Structure 1
Amino acid sequence: MDGKNGRSMMTGLLALVTALAALSLFLAAVWRWHDNDWGASIWLVAFVAMTVIRTPHSLRNRANVVVDADKDIVEKLLLTAMFLAMMLLPLCHLGTPLFRFADYSLPDWATAIGAVLQGPFLWLFWRSHADLGRNWSPGLEVREDHRLVTGGIYASMRNPMYAAIWLSALAQPLLIHNWIGGALVVPAFAAMWFLRVPNEEALMRRRFGAEWDAYCLRAGRLWPKRPG
C-alpha cells in the first residue's frame, strides 16, 4: 500500500468513526430530550433539516474533479473548529451531562427568537445549495467546468450560505443554554468568516478575474446592495 492510498484509507476511517460518534450522540440527545430546555429540541429538528439539505449535495459532489484548491493548515483548523462547535459539542452537551457545569439561563422570549431564526436560516441554507448545485464544496475548491453562479439568491448577495450560518450561529446560544455546547459556535464561526472568506474570494478572483470583480460591484457580501 503506497502512502497516498494509506492516507486515503485513514481519512475514510476517521470520517466513518466521526459519523458514528455523531450519530450516537444524536440518538442520546433525542433520548434525553426531556432533560433539556425546549429550545434544544428546536435545535435538534433544525440540525436534522440541515443534514437532510446538505447530504445529497455532499454525496453527489464527491465526483467533482478539483482543479484548484486552498487547503492549508488554517483552512483545516477552521473546518474542524466549526464541526466541533456547530455539531459535535452541542450533541455531546444534549446527549450527556458532561458540560452541565457551563449551563446558563435565558428567558423564554430569548429562546423564542432563536427558534424563529431557524426559518430564515434553513431557507437560505437550502436555497444556497440548490442554486450552487455542482459548484458547491465544503472546502476552498474550484472544480473542472466550475462556473460563477450569479442567479437565484446569488443575484443579490455573494455569500448567502455564510449568511445562513451566521443566523444559525447567533441562534444556537439562544436555543442551547451552555457556554460550550451553545455559545462557542459564535467565536468559531467569526474566525471562519474573517479568516476564510478573503481566501475564498481570492480563489474566485483567480478563477474568474474581471467577471468576479464585476459581480462584486452589484452583489453584497452578506445582504443585497442598494441599487446605484
Structure 2
Amino acid sequence: MSVDSIGEIIWVLGIVAWYFIRRPYERRAKRVRVVSHRRSPSEIIGLVAALCGLAIIPGFYVATGIPGAADYPARVWAIAVGTAIFSLAMWVFRRTHKELGRNWSITLEIRDKHELIRGGPYALVRHPMYTSFLLMGLGQVFLLSNWVVGLAGLIGFAVLFLLRVNEEERMMLEIFGSQYRDYMESTKRIIPYIY
C-alpha cells in the first residue's frame, strides 16, 4: 500500500468519525424548540463552502484522483502529522458537541432554555467548533498530497468563519448581554491564547 493511499484512508476514517460524532446531536436537536434564528444567504454560502472544502472536493479526489496534476509526493512524516492534527480535530469536535448538548445546532439558532456554555473547550475559546474545522483543514493538507485539495479545506473553513463568526457573536451578545461580553474578554475566538 502506498503512502498516499494511507493518507487517503485516514482522511476517509476521519470523515466517517465526523459523521458519527455529529449524527446523534443532529437528531436530538430536532426535538428542541428553536426560539430565534439568524439564517441568511451568507450563512448558507459559508456552510456550503465548508462542506465543499472539507468533504466534497477531497472526497471526489479520493474517489477519482482528480485533479492529479496538483499532486505532490506523499511523505510518511506528513501522514503522521496529518493523522495527529485530524485526530485532535475530532477530539475537539466531539468535546464541543458534548458541551453544547441540547444547545447545539448547525445554523445560527437559539434554542429553548439556551445556556451560555463555558466548560470544556469553551473555557479556552469561544468557537471551538470552528477550531475543529480549522484543524480538519490543516490535517487534510498533510493527509491528502494534492495542492488543490489541501487548500480547499482551509479555504472552505475560512469562508465559513469569515461569513459567520461576527453574526454569531452579535447574536450571543443580544441574548446573553454582559455575561457574553465578559466571556469574550476572558477567551480568544478559535486559537487558545492567540486569536
TM-score clears 0.5: yes
Aligned to 2:84: 116
Identity of aligned residues (%): 34
| Residues 152/98 of structure 1: CA separation in 2 closer, same or farther (3 Å cut) | closer
Match of 2:167 among 177, 180, 199: 199
Give 3-state SS (helix, strand or coil) of 1:146's partner. coil
Contact 1:36 1:94 in 2 (8 A): no
Contact 2:3 2:75 in 1 (8 A): no
Match of 2:45 among 77, 81, 91: 77
Residue by residue over 1:47-95, the C-alpha shift from the partner in whole angstroms, topping out at 9 and shown as x without a partner, is: 1111111110011102222222122111111111111111112111111
Structure possessing the higher relative contact order (Cα contacts under 8 Å, 6 or more residues apart): 2
Aligned to 1:63: 31
Match of 1:168 among 132, 136, 141: 136
Greater C-alpha radius of gyration: 1
Displacement after TM superposition at 1:36 (Å): 5.0
Displacement after TM superposition at 1:225 (Å): 4.5
Aligned to 2:177: 209
In structure 1, what is the Cα distance between the partners aligned to 2:81 and 2:159?
24
Contact 2:58 2:149 in 1 (8 A): yes
Match of 1:47 among 15, 19, 33: 15
In structure 2, what is the Cα distance between the partners aligned to 1:39 and 1:81?
23
In structure 1, what is the Cα distance between the partners aligned to 2:101 and 2:64?
37
Deviation larger for 45-54 or 178-187: 178-187
In structure 1, what is the Cα distance between the partners aligned to 2:34 and 2:192?
30
Contact 1:205 1:212 in 2 (8 A): yes
Contact 1:218 1:225 in 2 (8 A): no
Matched, 1:219 2:187: yes
Give 3-state SS (helix, strand or coil) of 1:58's partner. helix
Amino acid at match of 1:182: G
In structure 1, what is the Cα distance between the partners aligned to 2:158 and 2:131?
12
In structure 1, what is the Cα distance between the partners aligned to 2:111 and 2:2?
45
Amino acid at match of 1:96: T
TM-score, structure 1 as length reference: 0.78
Amino acid at match of 1:166: L
In structure 2, what is the Cα distance between the partners aligned to 1:63 and 1:38?
39
Contact 1:114 1:172 in 2 (8 A): yes
